[in-house]
Amino acid sequence: MVSKTNSFLTLAELRQSDRKFDATRPIAEEALQRIVSAGRLAPSACNGQPWHFVVVTEKQLCREVGKGLNYLGMNKFCLNAVAYIVIVKESANLTSTIGAKWKNKDFSSIDIGIAASYLTLAAASEKIGSCIIGWFNENKIKELLKIPSNKRIELVIALGYSLENNRSKKRKAYNSVISFNKYD
């Protein structure tokens, strides 16, 4: 058994996909600034930083973005989020783009996934609930936030104070996904 005395491991346990937010409790702007600052510090291939974070806090706009995330019967809970971080994929730098082509790897999407981890862990560290959303009406959200139509929204982070208890994680067994020194 792995010791859980490490504070990062405790934070990783604490972060969960929250799907029940307190719609009456706003998040202070300074807390949102700290969360996006953590996202900005995330590592990326060749330090390309292929992202732009749009933080949505205005009440009416949040309502509309929530509707855009509540898509084909999924993600209705987002209607109660009080803020969103919309992650727009930007062009990576030349080295990362060449590297991605050469190695046939989508470094930009990987980078944005890592940024999403930073954002959600930073939210957890502020005791703010979050959920990463990959399923949404992209065109509607682009229109609402004036994001150029040729850009992609990779992920949206829904935020709010959670009304859920901390769940224990459902994960594959340690030995089935981890091996030391050889693939086993």
Ligand X SMILES: Cc1cc2nc3c(=O)[nH]c(=O)nc-3n(C[C@H](O)[C@H](O)[C@H](O)COP(=O)(O)O)c2cc1C
Q: Which residues contribute to the site for ligand X (CB under 6 A)?
A: 16-17, 19, 75, 131-135, 155, 169
Task: Name the minimum Å distance from CB 170 to ligand X.
Answer: 7
Residue number, 132 or 163, with CB nearest to ligand X: 132
* CA distance linking residue 168 with residue 150, whole number of Å: 40
Residue number, 44 or 75, with CB nearest to ligand X: 75
Residue number, 2 or 180, with CB nearest to ligand X: 2
Residue number, 100 or 131, with CB nearest to ligand X: 131
Task: Name the minimum Å distance from CB 2 to ligand X.
Answer: 17
Phi then psi for residue 149, to 5 deg, are -65, -25
Number of H helices, E strands in the chain: 7, 4
Residue number, 146 or 169, with CB nearest to ligand X: 169
Task: Name the minimum Å distance from CB 87 to ligand X.
Answer: 10
* CA distance linking residue 3 with residue 155, whole number of Å: 32
Residue given tokens 């104070």 in the structure block: 161
Q: If DSSP states are collapsed to H, E and C, what string results for 39-103? A: HHCCCCHHHCCCEEEEEECCHHHHHHHHHHHCECCECHHHHHCCEEEEEEECCCCHHHHHHHHHH
Task: Name the minimum Å distance from CB 168 to ligand X.
Answer: 10
Closest residue by beta carbon to ligand X:
134
* CA distance linking residue 48 with residue 28, whole number of Å: 30
Task: Name the minimum Å distance from CB 182 to ligand X.
Answer: 28
